[in-house]
Amino acid sequence: MAPTPWWKNASIYQIYPASFQDSNGDGIGDLPGIISRLDYIQSLGVDAIWVCPMYDSPQYDMGYDISDYEAVYAPYGKVADVEALIAGCHARGLRILLDLVINHTSHEHAWFRASRSSRTDPKRDWYIWRPPRYDPATRQRQPPNNWRSFFGGSAWAWDEPTQEYYLHLFAPQQPDLNWENPATRQALYASAMEFWLQRGIDGFRVDTVNMYSKPQDFPDAPILDPSNPYQPAASLFCNGPRMPEFLTEINQVLRKYRPHGDAITVGELPATPDRSDVLRYVSAAANQLSMVFQFDIVDCNMGADLRFNTVPHTWTLSDLRARVAATQTLMDGSTDGWSTAFLENHDQARCVSRWGSPGKHWEKSAKMLAMLVASLSGTLFLYQGQEIGMTNAPNHWDVGEYKDVDSVNYYRYVQESTDNDPVAIQNAKQALDYLARDHARLPMQWSAAPQAGFTDAEAKPWMRVHDNFKEVNVKGQTDQEDSVLGFWKALLGVRKQFPGVFAAGVYRDVDPENEEVLVFEKLGRGEKLVVTLNFGTEVREVQELEGLLKGKSWRVLVGNYEGDGMEALRPYEGRIYLVDVETATVA
């Protein structure tokens, strides 16, 4: 049997540079700040870090709008700082992934400046330009199709000097590259990938990995939202026909530097709910991506075509568990695929505020959710601050504290489209309080010192520090043994100790109808896990427990309460049992 590749049993810590650690008092996190925290990261017991975009950028979308792949955003540092970060990781036995954002560039990238300079520029075809349509009745100029941008409005922007539209699936400052042009692809690989592979990175988290191959007739999307002239179109521009070809090319670039395949790709896979579609990306035989981020779990309780079009806190446990099970089937032993386990990232609200209880039961629910994600198969991703149970920004904060382009555009859209209807505006604020991307972007809470130790006491951080930093911070939790932080370290430890059941076991949902307690098994060879998680404040008996624990012996590996391991689950109590079973349970 081939040895398990390093990344399958790995836990990977995600860093958002702007909000992690400021080293020079300008209120913006930076690379020297990250380097100064590498010992802390190592102490967690993770195997690698993923650093969100640190490239040069005008920051319309926090660095996902790159103006130069080979330069670093000046407030974060220089290329030499990234080199020092790579060396610092490797010296500690940590690997490092960078973010690969190649569906689009910034409108300030030299390629786009050239492309928009004239219709005959050699780089015109590096982006997606189309002539207008005209409304037959009014003769008004209109975008080439009805696609809606992820951040609202048309996905096409009019360029007055050259009298054409260009496509931007995200902000107008993020023009989409034309992947149909081979010269564009070669330039991208050289600049965005090879420049950094030469510096020794261990792989990429690949942004919007399924959007490069667009249908070249750019058809209108079906009208799902008649109140809006622009329609969600992800089903049309995701997972296009040439994706396999493009990903094969990307792999060839990786292999050039890492012939043994130990440099990895983690693709972000939005709008792809079908298992068979996911499998085409992550099947080992297909050789496309090492693994993907599926959206099933984090999309829970979001509006179907608009994230904020939702009623907060109306999810059910049966819905959540179905989403968990859906991602886990990728690793049910019947496929050669691999995936990831995560509850948070820089685009998501905090998990305690979504599925736990940030108030009285904060600590228990943070630990219970940690048990959930740490028990799932796939490569585990942990987002900065999740390990100390950071929560969403307080509801009483003014809407002006929301800085993200997605949040700002949505709020303005509601104001304008409802003529400032107070009820609609209140609902919009509640939706932001619940699901905005900003919640993940609040400064990391290092200590009870002013500004949570993120920046100097007198400095003004780019985002406001959470009110709860004196109760929730790294320093306090390091000193306290039974903290959320200590709990996470223990979990990462047992996950390493029993990789066969934790990272690669076969998931089985025991009671899919149960709306209070999530009970599942993870079957490995000769051993299994039984996981029981109480998602509510009532004391709950787990009827099936005795049957599930049948075997040679069992013990509670991890739990967030004291006890002998058989009692009913108390509020937000969770337990992970390790059961030694007679025979191999995997067929």
Catalytic residues: 207, 268
State which of residues 101, 506, 510, 576 lies at the interface with ligand TEU (CB under 6 A).
101
Q: Which does 28 bind (CB under 5 to 8 A by kind): Ca ion, ligand TEU, none?
A: Ca ion
Nearer to ligand TEU (CB atom), residue 265 or residue 451: 265
**Strand partners for 206:** 100, 267
| CA triple 346-352-355, angle to 5 deg | 105
State which of residues 69, 127, 170, 446 lies at the interface with ligand TEU (CB under 6 A).
170
Q: Which does 22 bind (CB under 5 to 8 A by kind): ligand TEU, Ca ion, none?
A: Ca ion
Q: Which does 270 bind (CB under 5 to 8 A by kind): ligand TEU, Ca ion, none?
A: ligand TEU
Is the CB of residue 174 less than 8 Å from the CB of residue 64?
yes
Shortest Å, Cβ 208 to ligand TEU: 5
Interaction of residue 446 with ligand TEU, rule CB under 6 A: no
Nearer to ligand TEU (CB atom), residue 271 or residue 529: 271
Cα 359 to chain center, whole Å?
25
Which parts of this chain interact with Ca ion (CB under 5 A)? 22, 24, 26, 28, 30
Give the strand order in the sheet containing 156-159: 129-130, 164-167, 156-159
Nearer to ligand TEU (CB atom), residue 178 or residue 365: 178
Nearer to ligand TEU (CB atom), residue 206 or residue 533: 206
Give dist(CA 239, CA 289) in Å, integer.
14
Using CB under 6 A as the binding criterion, the count of chain residues that bind ligand TEU stands at: 13
Shortest Å, Cβ 346 to ligand TEU: 6
State which of residues 22, 47, 61, 81 lies at the interface with ligand TEU (CB under 6 A).
61
Nearer to ligand TEU (CB atom), residue 357 or residue 392: 392
Interaction of residue 406 with ligand TEU, rule CB under 6 A: yes
Interacting positions 314-353 with ligand TEU (CB under 6 A): 346-347
Give dist(CA 135, CA 512) in Å, integer.
51
Q: Which does 471 bind (CB under 5 to 8 A by kind): ligand TEU, Ca ion, none?
A: none
State which of residues 13, 50, 64, 411 lies at the interface with ligand TEU (CB under 6 A).
64
Interaction of residue 164 with ligand TEU, rule CB under 6 A: no
Is the CB of residue 109 less than 8 Å from the CB of residue 71?
no
Give dist(CA 208, CA 317) in Å, integer.
28
Give dist(CA 575, CA 578) in Å, integer.
10
Interaction of residue 58 with ligand TEU, rule CB under 6 A: no
Number of CB atoms found within 10 A of residue 131's CB: 10
Q: Sign of the C-alpha dihedral, residues 230, 231, 235, 241?
A: negative
Q: Which does 406 bind (CB under 5 to 8 A by kind): ligand TEU, Ca ion, none?
A: ligand TEU
Token pair, residue 496, equals 């390493």
Is the CB of residue 571 less than 8 Å from the CB of residue 536?
yes
Give dist(CA 449, CA 18) in Å, integer.
19
Give dist(CA 258, CA 201) in Å, integer.
10
Shortest Å, Cβ 440 to ligand TEU: 10
SS3 159: strand
Number of CB atoms found within 10 A of residue 126's CB: 24
Interacting positions 269-288 with ligand TEU (CB under 6 A): 270
Q: Which does 30 bind (CB under 5 to 8 A by kind): ligand TEU, Ca ion, none?
A: Ca ion
State which of residues 124, 168, 307, 464 lies at the interface with ligand TEU (CB under 6 A).
307
Residue nearest to ligand TEU (CB): 64
Interaction of residue 19 with ligand TEU, rule CB under 6 A: no
Interaction of residue 150 with ligand TEU, rule CB under 6 A: yes
Interface pattern 194-233 for ligand TEU (x via CB under 6 A):
-------------xx-------------------------
Q: Could you tell me which residues come within 8 angstroms of residue 310 by beta carbon, excluding any fewer than 6 positions away?
A: 301, 302, 303, 431, 434, 435
Q: How far is CA 306 from CA 152, 224, 295, 301, 313, in A?
A: 9, 11, 14, 11, 16
Q: Which of 241, 127, 267, 242 is nearest to 188 (CA)?
A: 127
Q: Could you tell me which residues come within 8 angstroms of residue 118 by beta carbon, excluding any fewer than 6 positions away?
A: 124, 162
**Site of interaction with ligand TEU (CB under 6 A):** 61, 64, 101, 150, 170, 207-208, 268, 270, 307, 346-347, 406
